[in-house]
Amino acid sequence: MDLFEYQGKSLYQKFNINHPNSKLIKNLNDLNDPINLNFPVVVKAQVQVGGRGKAGGIKVAKDINELTQYSEEILGMDIKGHKVEILLLEEASNILEEYYISFTLDRSEKKYLIMLSAKGGMDIEQVAEENPDDLVKFHVSPSEKLTSSTISELINKANLNKDHEESLSEIIENLYLMFTEGDCDLVEVNPLAITDNGVMALDSKVSLDMNAKYKHPYFDDFEQEIPIPESEKNAKEKGLNFIKLDGSVGIIGNGAGLVMSTLDVVAENGGKAATFLILVAEQKLRL
């Protein structure tokens, strides 16, 4: 299950991952309460789709007047078919350096995959394509720990700022703990930044392994906060397992394993899935 940015950052709090002070806005009346944030403040649309900034869904307010104006403009906005119903207000950071880091499962290797780059704040797929040496990849067996020496080696290979190695090591270790102990399928931070206030995770892209739902009561809370697209509601009423994604390739498969493998193959060849539909025997007979 993919989380909103603010939900992922609530997990940052749980795992002691440094991130900007923030406040959640669900309607304009919330602005009548003290926001208790230092200006400038970043107003961020909470939608599960990329391209928020280009669509006008992220703006920096220098005072309360601009904050009110931008909140009015963004709340209710449609971004690629996703209606903005929640805003995340964050204290703006003075960014000195931007990095990229992600943790996911490499199914082909049956290991965790860590990716780290000194070129954060931009499309990591573009970095991987144009300058593959700038993206450090490292596999970790689920049965092994991520040691401090390994983290130091990663920081060195990625050419991150050695003056901040201690803080970088701490936040990388905590992100890894969040990924493993929090039962995540993906934890991605872009950018992981060096700021005037130290090393901070300025963004959050998190996906949870819902098979581990029984271990984490808060998974239910997250799930209830995420609106189900109309297309998925209609499919669910018909007993179909259908998920809408942000791509152009439709995928229909016989079982979850085949669909997930097909998603990987499409991604490895430069494509992006638009939807996937998982069929079981009874559904195939009906169709």
pLDDT at 280 over 70: no
pLDDT in tens, 132-169: 899 999 999 999 999 999 999 999 999 999 999 999 99
Percent of the chain with pLDDT over 70: 96
pLDDT in the model for residue 270: 84
Give pTM, 2 decimals.
Answer: 0.83
pLDDT at 194 over 80: yes
Determine, yes or no, domain membership for 148: yes
Angle at 192 between CA 1 and CA 107, to 5 degrees: 45
pLDDT at 83 over 80: yes
Determine, yes or no, domain membership for 12: no
Q: What is the 3-state secondary structure (H, E, C) of 66-100?
A: HHHHHHHHHCCCEECCEECCCEEEEECCCEEEEEE
pLDDT band at 182, cuts 50/70/90? Answer: very high
Q: Which of 180-189, 246-255, 274-283 has the lowest mean pLDDT?
A: 274-283
Determine, yes or no, domain membership for 187: yes
Task: Please give the average per-residue pLDDT across 272-287, as a whole number.
Answer: 67
Determine, yes or no, domain membership for 8: no
Domain of 83? Answer: 21-91
pLDDT in the model for residue 210: 92
Determine, yes or no, domain membership for 115: yes
Give the CATH number, domain containing residue 200. Answer: 3.30.470.20
- Mean per-residue pLDDT over the chain, rounded: 91
Q: Which of 91-95, 104-108, 214-218, 276-280 has the lowest mean pLDDT?
A: 276-280
pLDDT band at 285, cuts 50/70/90? Answer: very low
* Residues 73, 60: Cα–Cα separation, whole Å: 13
242: which 2 tokens? Answer: 């259908």
Number of structural domains the chain divides into? 3
**Which one of 210, 240, 262 terminates a domain?**
210
| 28 Cβ neighbours under 8 A, 6+ residues apart | 68, 71, 72, 75
Give the CATH number, domain containing residue 29. Answer: 3.30.1490.20
pLDDT band at 282, cuts 50/70/90? Answer: low
* Residues 215, 88: Cα–Cα separation, whole Å: 28
Determine, yes or no, domain membership for 67: yes
Task: Please give the average per-residue pLDDT across 123-127, as a whole number.
Answer: 85
Rg from Cα positions in the chain = 20
